[in-house]
Amino acid sequence: MRKPAARPRAASRAGAGSIPERYARTRSATVALAAPLSAEDCAIQSMADASPVKWHLAHTTWFFETFVLSPRGVAPFDPAYRTLFNSYYVSVGDRHPRPQRGLLSRPSLDEVLAYRAHVDEAMARLLDAGSLDPAGLALVELGVNHEQQHQELILTDVKHMLSCNPLRPAYRKTWPLTAVHASPSRWIPVAGGVREIGHAGAGFAFDNEMPRHRVLIEDFEIASHPVTHGDFLRFIEAGAYRRPELWLSAGWDAVLARGWEAPAYWERRDGEWQTFTLHGMAPVEPNAPVCHVSFYEAEAYARWAGARLPTEAEWEIATAATPIEGNFLESAMLHPLAPREDPGDGALAQVFGDVWEWTRSDYAPYPGYRPAEGAVGEYNGKFMANQYVLRGGSCATPASHIRATYRNFFPADARWQFSGLRLARDVA
């Protein structure tokens, strides 16, 4: 998940409690995600788009040290860490090359954990003293939300790393899923007109969610459920990965160059499709939302199905009244689930959690967008090119981190995130 910056705000959606309580809770949760892993697991970088768990643990700590502690005169734990664990903050200084993060055998995992403890102690003293002004508290709040994004990245990066091991080891051995019944998808009509989208009012939001603004949409319909594994199996069985007419040109190039024939992590064993999960290998559950598909695959599936992907404005308008509840990180399922019950007439199922849903919208600034001031604002705006927007969160997203206006974004060929899709169509 990318890490957009935020405008300073005093209120928060990063969970209940005071900022010191949320800080402590979030920091502990990150360390807990690393607990099932060995030191060797935490050091591996399986591809350039991923980072070692050890780096995530250090970088989220670097954020608080760099943006909160250092400007207030707290000496760095190790000056070398300012470069080693910088990500994309060019104005902060030099950065270790992203594709080479897996070469950082030193500092050790124990040293990184000591770094976290050192910064946490300094942060606790600062927060307990009540000496931070509103701008300082806003930076802490931003850091908490930033760390929640890295909690999701830890799980998606670990999944990719473990999938590269021929033993297909499990992150958690207990398989949490049970048999479910099919829940058929329906088309839900949504009235067009001039509507408003974007974040407004109290509560934390990243700068790319603002300002709230008007959009004009036509009448459309949106699917009540995300596309399932069973739906996608029919797409595969129809020979879609061999039919160039279904694909965008760049998507077809990716199919040929990378040998795609199914979503990421799928393997055919004894004539049946199985998928690698954070619980190990498992049969593909036909009623669960499909995940680990690229924008190209999502767009091709929609074309094959005689539909299209929704725009992000359509998605937000259709889902704005839906309660923010679902299968998130806290459920410990770590895999998309089939719906347990039908949502009822006119309601959408599995809007939040389970899988991020690709939209047809380019990741671009909203009208009147202004990035946050200072180094924390440089990261977001410069990525507003060659990316597509995803909405809704996933089974690896912390529940308190998501909202209807949240804009995630990835390149069109990204597949290692829990990315799926929901269909839309025009009203004739």
The least confident of 42-51, 68-77, 173-182, 211-220 is 173-182
One domain, residues 351 and 233: yes
Query: What integer is the mean pLDDT of 196-204?
Result: 91
One domain, residues 336 and 371: yes
Query: What integer is the mean pLDDT of 346-373?
Result: 95
8 pLDDT above the threshold of 60: no
User: Which domain does 66 fall in, by range?
Assistant: 19-163
The model's confidence at residue 52, banded by pLDDT at 50, 70 and 90, is very high
One domain, residues 80 and 116: yes
Please say whether the beta carbons of 317 and 190 come within 8 A.
yes
- Provide the percentage of residues in the chain whose pLDDT is more than 90: 85
310 pLDDT above the threshold of 70: yes
Distance, CA of 403 to CA of 9 (rounded, Å): 16
Please say whether the beta carbons of 375 and 89 come within 8 A.
yes
One domain, residues 220 and 297: yes
pTM: 0.94
Phi-psi region of 374 (alpha: psi -120 to 50; beta: other; left: phi over 0): left
The model's confidence at residue 379, banded by pLDDT at 50, 70 and 90, is low
One domain, residues 218 and 132: no
Residue 16 corresponds to which tokens in the numbers above? 């209940």
341 pLDDT above the threshold of 90: no
Is residue 6 in some structural domain? no
14 pLDDT above the threshold of 70: no
Is residue 170 in some structural domain? no
Instruction: Pick the last residue of a domain from 112, 147, 163.
Output: 163
Label residue 40 exposed, middle or buried (CB < 10 Å: 0-12, 13-18, 19+): exposed
Query: What integer is the mean pLDDT of 119-131?
Result: 95
Q: What is the CATH number of the domain that holds 232?
A: 3.90.1580.10
Give the number of domains in the chain. Answer: 2
- Provide the percentage of residues in the chain whose pLDDT is more than 70: 94
Q: What integer pLDDT is reported at residue 5 of this predicted model?
A: 41
One domain, residues 260 and 395: yes
